[in-house]
Amino acid sequence: MHESLVKHVIPALQMKKKQKEIYILDICFGLGFNTLATLLYAQENNITSKINIYSPELDARLVKSLNDFTYPKEFDCFKNIIEILVKDGIYDDDSFHIEVFVGDAREYILKFEQEKFDVVYQDAFSPSSNPMLWTQEYFKDIASIIKKDGILTTYSIALATRLALHENDFYIYVNKGENYRDATLASLSKIQALKEVDVAHKISCNPDAASLRD
Ligand SMILES: C[S@@+](CC[C@H](N)C(=O)[O-])C[C@H]1O[C@@H](n2cnc3c(N)ncnc32)[C@H](O)[C@@H]1O
């Protein structure tokens, strides 16, 4: 849960918490830690924005098994949300709207209108084990559905990942803090408060580096 908070939830919600509504794409649902950590952080920090989370997950059996998974105690208050998501795929109340789609993330992201999302949690398996969710073409699709001032969060600091984002006009930033390894933030806008990665310099030091392609 610490990783979810520091690498995804805190940087995203700190930037977006003044909005009336926040739209988050959570790639991919897995056990739902990023989604549940988002709800918990919003509750504990009195964030009043309505939080809308959309999340694909390929593994239908995993989703079905979530009712039996032993989550950290802090998530006890969200047990009913998990039950409803497992049963119906959609949960909605005044504070949260959550949709879990069982299927392929690459297909799922094509159904959204342009510039829908304020936040993308890019938390697929690693580029080596799950390459289709890290390619230049994948991030092209993400670039069209994230807002111009949206923020993408990922644990990956691989140059190939950063190049795939950079080639789609994302600015690349370092997410640095105590008690966790550096991670990456990316946005189609310049964000003065963040430390930008000099991608041109990285390329000149690593002339053979390349983004993944479909
Ligand atoms: C690292 S886990 C995600 C962890 C999750 N964000 C969490 O907070 O618990 C990666 C997940 O991606 C799913 N996955 C892999 N390829 C996928 C695809 N093409 N579409 C949707 N989900 C996929 C896997 O089944 C796995 O559950």
Q: pTM of whole model > 0.95? A: yes
Question: Per residue in 52-109, pLDDT tens?
Answer: 999 999 999 999 999 999 999 999 999 999 999 999 999 999 999 999 999 999 999 9
Q: Which domain holds residue 46?
A: 2-205
Residue 17 is which amino acid?
Answer: K
Residue 30 Cα, ligand 1 centroid: separation in angstroms? 5
pLDDT of residue 79: 96
Asked if the model's pLDDT at residue 139 lies above 90, the reply is yes
Q: Determine the distance separating the centroid of ligand 1 and the alpha carbon of 192, expressed in angstroms.
A: 32
The domain total for the chain is 1
List the structure tokens of 39.
């709800």
Q: Any idea what the Cα angle at residue 172 is, between residues 50 and 209, rounded to 5°? A: 135
* Residue 214, in any domain of the structure: no
Q: What's the 3-state SS for the chain?
A: CHHHHHHHHHHHHHHHCCCCEEEEEEECCCCCHHHHHHHHHHHHCCCCCEEEEEEEECCHHHHHHHHHCCCCHHHHHHHHHHHHHHHHCEEECCCEEEEEEECCHHHHHHHCCCCCEEEEEECCCCCCCCHHHCCHHHHHHHHHHEEEEEEEEECCCCHHHHHHHHCCCCEEEEEEECCEEEEEEEECCCCCCCEECCHHHHHHHCCCCCCCCC
Across the range 171-188, mean pLDDT stands at: 95
Within a domain: 210? no
Question: Given this model, what pLDDT does residue 14 score?
Answer: 95
Residue 185 lies in a domain: yes
Measured distance CA(21)–CA(13) in Å, rounded = 11
Q: Is 115 left (phi over 0), alpha (psi -120 to 50) or beta?
A: left
Indicate which CATH number applies to the domain containing 200: 3.40.50.150
Ligand 1-lining residues (CB < 6 angstroms): 4, 28, 30-34, 56-59, 62, 104-106, 123-125, 130, 132-133
Q: Give the distance (Å) from ligand 1 centre to CA of residue 5.
A: 17
Over the chain, what is the mean pLDDT?
A: 96
Tell me the per-residue pLDDT of 112-123, one tens digit each, with 9 for 90 and over.
999 899 999 999
Q: Is 211 inside a domain boundary? A: no
User: Using CA positions, which residue lies closest to atom 11 of ligand 1?
Assistant: 30
> In this structure, is residue 24 part of a structural domain?
yes
39 in a structural domain: yes
Identify which of 178, 131, 177, 132 has the alpha carbon closest to the alpha carbon of residue 153.
177
pLDDT at 205 over 90: yes
In whole angstroms, what is the distance from residue 120 CA to residue 15 CA? 13
Q: Is residue 111 part of a domain?
A: yes
Percent of the chain with pLDDT over 70: 100
Q: What is the pLDDT of residue 1?
A: 83
- Evaluate whether residue 212 is within a structural domain: no
- Going by C-alpha positions, the residue among 166, 122, 116, 173 that lies closest to residue 146 is 116
> Which numbered atom of ligand 1 lies nearest the CA of 37?
8
